[in-house]
Structure 1
Amino acid sequence: MYLYHYFDKTIGPFVSLSDLPIDEAKSILDVIKVTKPNSQGAQRHDKYVEYRRNCENIIRSEFAKKGGVINRTSPHYMVIEHSPWLSTWFENSSFIKIPIEEFDIKTISFTYGDSMPTFSPTINDGKEYRKKLYTYDEILKIIEKYGLPQDWNDDGKYGAERYIEAHVWSDETINRYFS
């Protein structure tokens, strides 16, 4: 199994608005809307940064309850296996894939689908993986039951889940690859 990280080649990998103060993150998002209008980031609504921070608070809290090891305030975002849809998010798209064996799995949490819709108060479709965070062993059971979302829902026709999001709560492996 590989974890993939998609990014804009002109910016580089593992650069996150969540690592910045809110005002600075909002300013950068405003610049992206003007300079990269065809990117997914340019489509973000005005409250995106606040919603993202709230979602990260939820997943951090849920992961702590499960005994996860958290060494960062916000996670590095990756996905399980290749997502054709995510590969279209950036004007100068690229990706990095790292074998999951390179990570301490106690530092990774997962959502079946993107964490924002997974924990959105407006999505109440009754799916068993909605509003849930998983450990590595738990997500393997969900994959066994439902498969990879990008295999059955890459176009989003059947709901918000298009990939499995991985939240890496440590810099250790990332720094080995990109320091």
Structure 2
Amino acid sequence: MNYHLYHYFEMDLGPFRNLSKLKYEEAIEILNQIKREGNTFASKRTDEYMSIRRGLEQLARAQFIAKGGFPKNSYPHYMTLGECDWLKTWYRRPGVIIIPWEKFTDESISFTYGDLFPTMRFQDQKPYRKQVYTKNEIKQIINQFGFPQEWNRNGDKGPERYIEAQVWDEDVINEF
């Protein structure tokens, strides 16, 4: 399979900026600044966003380790498996970096079928909820369910709009 990972970002700020990498208070300050500026997807996040995000990232990391992953970072950088045009609408001036998935070791990247937030929190009993997948496992999930960005392009069939990749090692992304 010839898969590629996509990282969407604001051109004026640059790629792979990560609130989780910051001290909690600094992340809250930046999130509040984003909210004040408005007109972006991120500006609609709740006040509890950072605490929920950090908890979900710890859960995903623990699941990934249990499946044989060796995350170097305490937090992931986020990408999508496959293109997702909808994510471009999150930014005023969207940019994208595309990296072949072969560049990432199996032990450095995990996946959720959908964004980490709804995947871990949505209560609809779909079999891919509350799960973190390895490279081999996500291939099986794709064979079974397809790519959400194809069957749910408009978001009218549920919260899953793409397959999210959690990159737990900055070595590959630092090349970009």
Per the normalisation by structure 2, the TM-score is 0.97
Note the alpha carbon deviations across 1:87-140, whole angstroms, 9 max, x for none. Answer: 1111111111001111112210000000111111xx211110001110000000
Q: Secondary structure in 2 aligned to 1:145?
A: helix
Identical residues among aligned pairs (%): 45
Q: Secondary structure in 2 aligned to 1:128?
A: coil
In 2, distance between residues paired with 1:150 and 1:158? 11
Partner of 1:176: 175
In 2, distance between residues paired with 1:22 and 1:163? 27
**Is 1:111 paired with 2:108?**
no
Note the alpha carbon deviations across 1:49-74, whole angstroms, 9 max, x for none. Answer: 00100100100000010110110010
1:20 Cα shift?
0.5
In 1, distance between residues paired with 2:40 and 2:159? 19
Q: What amino acid is aligned across from residue 89 of structure 2 in structure 1?
A: T
Partner of 2:132: 133
Q: Secondary structure in 1 aligned to 2:172?
A: helix
In 2, distance between residues paired with 1:32 and 1:115? 21
Structure 1 residue ranges without an equivalent (≥5):
none
User: What is the CA RMSD across the aligned residues, in angstroms?
Assistant: 0.8
User: Which stretches of structure 1, 4 residues or longer, exceed 4 Å deviation after superposition?
Assistant: none
Per the normalisation by structure 1, the TM-score is 0.95
Q: Secondary structure in 1 aligned to 2:68?
A: coil
1:43 Cα shift?
0.7
Partner of 2:102: 101
In 2, distance between residues paired with 1:137 and 1:40? 31
Partner of 1:89: 90
Length, aligned pairs only? 174
